[in-house]
Each structure stands twice: as C-alpha cells, then as structure tokens.
Structure 1
Amino acid sequence: MKTTMKLLGLAFMTLSLTLTSCGKDGDDGLDGAMGPAGAQGIAGQDGTNGTNGEDGEDGNANVKTIKIDASAWEGSFESVDVSEITQPVLDNDAILAYMLSQNSFYYAMPGTVDGGVYNTRPYYKVGKFYVNFNNLDGTNYSISAGDIVEVKLIIIESTESSTSSKSGKSNARSQLLNAGVDVNDYHAVMDYYGLNH
C-alpha cells in the first residue's frame, strides 16, 4: 500500500508537470481596454492641507482721494474748487484733510503745524474747499509759497443709508476708530483703506 501511494503521488506530480509544460509558448494576447480614471486627489503642500483663514470684515470701497497742489499758496486763506464735494457728500460722508508740508510731514487738518507754529482750519461747501491759517492766539498767520506742498482730501462714503448727516459722518469716523485707526495719522488712514500714499 505504501508503494501504491508513492506511485500515485509520483504519477500525480508527473501529470502536473506535464500539464504545465505542455503546449508551446504562445503569443501574448491583446491588452484589455483602459479602465476609468481615478478620482482627483486633494492638493496639498508638503503632503498636508493648510487651514482656511477667517473672512475679513467688509470694507468700504467708496473712498475717494483728491490731491490738491498747494505749492503756490500764500497768505492766510485759500479757496479751491473741488467738484467731488457735493451736497450728498456734505450731508452724509466724512471728509478728512491732510497737508504735506515742506518738511515732508503730513498734518491733519484742522490741526497744529510744525510743532505749534500755526493752526489750520478747513471748511467745505458744495464744490469748494477753504482753509484758514491762524497763529495759536487766533490771529491770521501768513504762509509763503512752498510752505505747503499739497493737500489731500479723503472722502469716505457713509455705509449707513441715513438722511441724518451726523449719523453718516459719525458712522465713517466710527469705523476708523473701531478699527483702531488714528484719524489724525495720514499714513494710518491710507493704509487702512489700501490707498497709495
């Protein structure tokens, strides 16, 4: 019986070898059709995804900057035509004024200039910008040509639809103050609104 089992085992092995080695090598068959493309992977940097930032507050895109050449101004009073100063602007919007002096400093108007040498007092009416120059005691101060290089007016449209002029103007100023912007600092205001200096 042991011999029979051995013979059957050998016969089975021989049959297996014969079946696997039988036949001649054939040509490879044609490749199958291309499968569907896989889903797009998630893009990342260095194998990781960044986190989304928080949305910023909505800004006020309705900010105008008006540049006035003041290099020839002389005396204690100036008047300039400014068509952008309309009745709706006077009623609702905030107007900030800054002057660039010959020493390359911007000063807020109204305000004291050159460490207390004189004061500026701006006034607005439809189509006009006025400015008085006064000594600290209130008497007229006379500037010379070239003392002031330019004046920039920044008109900030109110974001509040209100017919109350105080409400609209205070809204524009409040927006700056709430954001920690010093309205007397020309560069801070320009940076806040993303305007060119």
Structure 2
Amino acid sequence: MKIRLKISLCLLASSALTITGCSKDGDVGAIGPQGPQGEQGIQGIEGEQGIKGDPGNANVKHYDIIVSNTDWSANLHFGASNEYRYYTVPADSTGGIELYNFYNEGNIVLAYAKPNYASDSGRGTAINITKLLPYIGMVSTSTEKFGLLIEQQANTNRLLLAKTINGYEPDRIPDEDVPTTIDFRIVLIESSNAVSEIAGKASLLNNLKSSGVDVSNYNAVMNHFGLE
C-alpha cells in the first residue's frame, strides 16, 4: 500500500513539473504584437541619366526605288503644251501602300530624287545631290545645258520626268537626255489625328517645322526620323 502511494505521488509531482514548464512558454501558435517601424535608411546615390532615344518614327516608313531610263513612258501631253514621261510606282514597291490613297487620307508623301548619268553618256548634273520633288537641276553636255525636271503627280501614283523651258515649263525629253538611273526615296508620314486631308497634312508639316526640320532638306529629314 505504501509503495503504491509513493509511486502515485511521484507521478503526480512529475505531471506538475511538466504543466508548469509549458505554461512558461505561452500558448502555442499565438502571434505577438507588431514591433515599432524601423528608421528610414539613407537615400542611395542617384543613377546616371540614360542615353536619349532616337526620335519616334513608328508612323514613318520609307522605300527606295531605282528607275532606269527604259522604265519611263514615251513623251505624252499633260495639258496645253506640257509634255512629260511618267513612271507608275507599283504598290509592291511601297509595302502594298497605294500612294494616292495614302495621300488622300490626310497623310504626307515626301519623294526625293537623285539622277545619275553613265560616265560615258557625256552628261552630268551640276547639282549631284538628293533633293525633294519637284526636282529642278541643270544638266550639261559638250554642246549645251538644259534643265531637268522631276515631279510627283499627287492625284496618281506617278513620277514625272521632263526637260524645262523658260526655267520651269515641262517639255519633251529625248531618250539620250533621260538619266541612266534615278534613285528615289519615298517617305510616308502617317497622321495620328482623325482630321481632314488638308488639316492633317498641315498639322504634320507644322510639327516638323516646329521641330526645326526643313522637309526640303533631305539629310535633315533622314536624321530627324533616324532613317539613314
């Protein structure tokens, strides 16, 4: 009997120690209150400024076309005494875009030309640079000089070629005076405004002018849109 009592007392004492030890650690899973926020750290050194990006040209496309002397039509009358040869720009040369439709939707079509004569043709342009159409340049031969006129016909997809008389009036150009090749670059600038044809073109041109860009300056336009 005494032995059983001693064993019971020992077990009871052991249980009391276990309960007392657990109560010191608090309830399992309980979350204590949030501590105070720490002080803000010192601000880091400001990073270097990034490189300035190129002017946006998402709405600008350009296409290069080479027209040889055999690609032009025969001399034709275009009203009164005006005579031209013409070349129709196919839509597949301008990304499937019909120049006439693009122009009539209030967008801008800028066409630049650089005529080239073969070295054995006996002809050379006095201003051998790329210029905005209408292009007027002087061509010299061993016996004469004549004006060369290259235009864009806004109401068609045509480029026009002629000699000039009296400074500008277009006249027929014989085969031997047609440039061996003419390098054309056609720049299409799409208007982002839903405005009329005239207002759209005026807005685009005014934006370029306010940015200091002269559209008659080929290099200025190419540099502005990053097209070189």
Aligned to 1:3: none
Number of aligned pairs?
A: 150
Unaligned 5+ runs, structure 2: 1-40, 76-83, 92-96, 117-124, 140-145
AA of the residue aligned to 2:59: N
Distance in 2 (CA, whole Å) between partners of 1:70 and 1:57 is 31
Give the structure 2 partner of residue 82 of structure 1: 90
Mapping of 1:1-197 within 5 angstroms? 42=44, 49-50=47-48, 59-72=56-69, 73=71, 76-83=84-91, 84=97, 85=99, 87-102=101-116, 104-114=128-138, 117-125=147-155, 128-135=157-164, 136-142=167-173, 143-146=177-180, 148-162=181-195, 164-196=196-228
Instruction: Give the TM-score normalised by structure 2.
Output: 0.55
Residue-by-residue CA offset, 1:10-35 (whole Å, 9 max, x unaligned): xxxxxxxxxxxxxxxxxxxxxxxxxx
CA distance in 2, matches of 1:93, 1:109: 17
- C-alpha distance in structure 2 between counterparts of 1:91 and 1:172, whole Å: 13
Q: Distance in 2 between matches of 1:168 and 1:77?
A: 31
Give the CA deviation at 1:189: 0.5
> Are 2:64 and 2:184, in contact at CA under 8 Å, matched by a contact in 1?
yes
Quickly say closer, same or farther: Cα 1:52–1:173, change in 2 above 3 A: same
The answer (yes or no) to whether the contact 1:60–1:159 under 8 Å persists in 2 is: no
Stretch deviating more after TM superposition (153-162 or 100-109): 100-109
Give percent identity, aligned residues only: 20
CA distance in 1, matches of 2:204, 2:89: 24
Superposition TM-score, scaled by structure 1 size = 0.62
Range with greater deviation from structure 2 (117-126 or 61-70)? 117-126
Letter in 2 for 1:69: I
8 Å contact from structure 1 (residues 158, 172) kept in 2: yes
Is the contact between residue 147 and residue 163 of structure 2 (CA under 8 Å) also seen in structure 1?
no
Runs of 4+ residues over 6 Å off in structure 1? 55-58
Judge conservation of contact 1:93–1:156 (CA < 8 Å) in 2.
Answer: yes
Structure 1, residues 116-152: CA drift from partner, whole Å, max 9, x if none? 82332211346x2232424025141524241x43111
Alpha-carbon offset, residue 172 of structure 1: 1.6
The RMSD of aligned alpha carbons is 3.3
